[in-house]
Structure 1
């Protein structure tokens, strides 16, 4: 049976780092072979993007992130899916629709860059009220120039505003408010959704 591709995006502080290992463990307990990964990836282009986010801006960073994405797909994601694994990816194209736009890149340019990137079987968008996001970021510290201790509203708002574009572009969105649900409750809801997807995956 072919694997399924699940991406998890959302503003800084939404809980991706907490939720993904829990989701992976829950699916593994149900007998699935799970492959956890992230973007920017751990490959050479991904390391360059991750380590030099402060140095690259605008179209240069957008193109670097996209180049890493296609390399990531070819070298890691596609082989894992071909092997029948459930691939869980921390950040994917939806993050580019938000972060690159916040970095001054026109949305249409970002959409064109990612037009031929593989679409996930499920694109999870985590969210929470801006004051909750800001509190979490203040507690844990920021990890890049896209995360800050000011208002989280612009980033959260763009995820909401761009949902229609993502749906039009072939991303099956599933929204989870981590301000309303505990990580365990969120994982349970997502796992049920994934089980439904797996039951519809054709045998090969």
Structure 2
């Protein structure tokens, strides 16, 4: 795949029930309709380490799960994220480092340990943070069913939202462009269009810089 412009890594993070997977899918469609080469993926990945992490959150906890998720992330970067980006594609990743700074903290792992563990992971070109009112998040999770033990009612939803606010501060402190979108009352198509428009502008800017390089 060669697109003639510099690729991008765009990450989607946020509390359970915020609509990350739907936003990734609809944003990819928005970009593809405008002729932009897009690759969608998720973490934990579909590779061996990611499959173990995703399917065994009741077995692995705390430090062991944090290390497993980080190991999968580095492998994901080596084999999928970086190659697609180098080829000029726009990579949309459902969950990335911000999610680790939240979910693994909810699992009792200190923030400084998590920051160190993920210190060599590539920073995204744009971090999309989806937010949602905790009560609405709980309702949405109840409808679809909880995917992991981390989502156990209003108390965990409130904690997750608070930790994502801190993760947003961490991202901006490292110079990562951040796009925060409240999905509480927004239509899914409107969310995707808003995100897609921002990525389209970013891709155009990246393309100009690549041409001038």
- By the TM > 0.5 criterion, same fold? yes
CA distance in 2, matches of 1:173, 1:100: 21
Match of 1:106 among 105, 110, 117: 110
Partner of 2:184: 179
Q: Which residue of 134, 157, 160 maps to 1:130?
A: 134
Backbone CA RMSD of aligned residues: 1.1
Distance 1:154 1:189 in 2: 27
Q: Please name the residue that 1:158 is paired with.
A: 163
The residue aligned with 1:197 is 202
- Structural mapping, 1:1-204, within 5 Å: 1-151=5-155, 152-201=157-206, 202-203=209-210
Whether the aligned pair in 2 keeps the contact of 1:6 and 1:87 (CA below 8 Å) is: yes
Give the distance between the partners of 1:39 and 1:169, measured in 2 at CA. 21
- Secondary structure of the 2:210 match is coil
Normalised by the length of structure 2, the TM-score is: 0.92
- Tell me the matched-pair count: 204
Do 2:7 and 2:87's aligned partners in 1 also have CA atoms closer than 8 Å?
yes
**How many Å separate the matches in 1 of 2:176 and 2:79?**
22
- Compute the TM-score of the two structures, normalised by the length of structure 1: 0.96
Tell me, in whole angstroms, the C-alpha distance in 1 between the residues paired with 2:123 and 2:70: 14
Counterparts of 1:195 and 1:127 in 2: how far apart (Å)?
22
1:119–1:170 contact (8 Å) kept in structure 2: no
> What is the CA deviation profile of residues 149-201 of structure 1, one whole-angstrom value per residue up to 9, with x for unaligned ones?
34311101111133212222343221000013211111111111111111210
Identify unmatched segments of 5+ residues in structure 2.
none
